[in-house]
Structure 1
């Protein structure tokens, strides 16, 4: 399994997941740059994602929905803040309604994903920061650790394909 560490820091209001992949940084980066590849790994395994919009540039937006096994759709949005090709990107991440409009009553995180070369491939560090302990706890209670870990663990199969 790619996920090697999960750390919740309630003082820093953050969640950090570290993973390692047996592929070069450029190949792992391509998954996030290409919405069709991203759809294959974003979200838990039983909730496939569909990216409607994916403007992978600073100031760009992404909108998507995940579909449950029962056919329910759960939307989300990203606003890209920084992009340093193949090494890192940061974005605001929030929940969306069925029309993919932001839901203001739900938590918004600031995420930074960093990628570095290792002797065996790539180390990825996924850090999500929240504005309050209540927001962090809300997503923890919703199963963000299990969902994100399950999503990240799907990357190996995509890399092997």
Structure 2
């Protein structure tokens, strides 16, 4: 993203750990929705595109107006890079390049966790992925939210990943 005004707002919302959606309109009247959960960008929709495709298309767009609306976020796009990379927060973005978990790994963990905890799986994976650097640390961060048998089952299912 190159539009400094909306980037500044996204950085502010990230610092505040805000949850809700940023609704924006580009100079060519295209609508954009950026969903944030606890300050992290979890979904982007722009034109008819979603996730990484929307982010790539949004790079060169300039926003005419935008507004943050606090509230619940239901949609998540697992193919997005970490928030620090999207908003370019300097050293944190460079450091997170190496630490980022692969989107396909996160999707696999979420699918396996869905069988165990239901719809909370996506939220738990998102929160754990924001601090984890590899699969073992991701599982360690998920462990407090699961009972002992679910932890064992999840580790067994993901043993060959």
TM tier, shorter chain?
Answer: under 0.3
The structure with the largest strand share of the pair is 1
Relative contact order (C-alpha < 8 Å, sep 6+): which is higher?
A: 1
The structure with the largest helix share of the pair is 2
- TM-score normalised by length of structure 1: 0.28
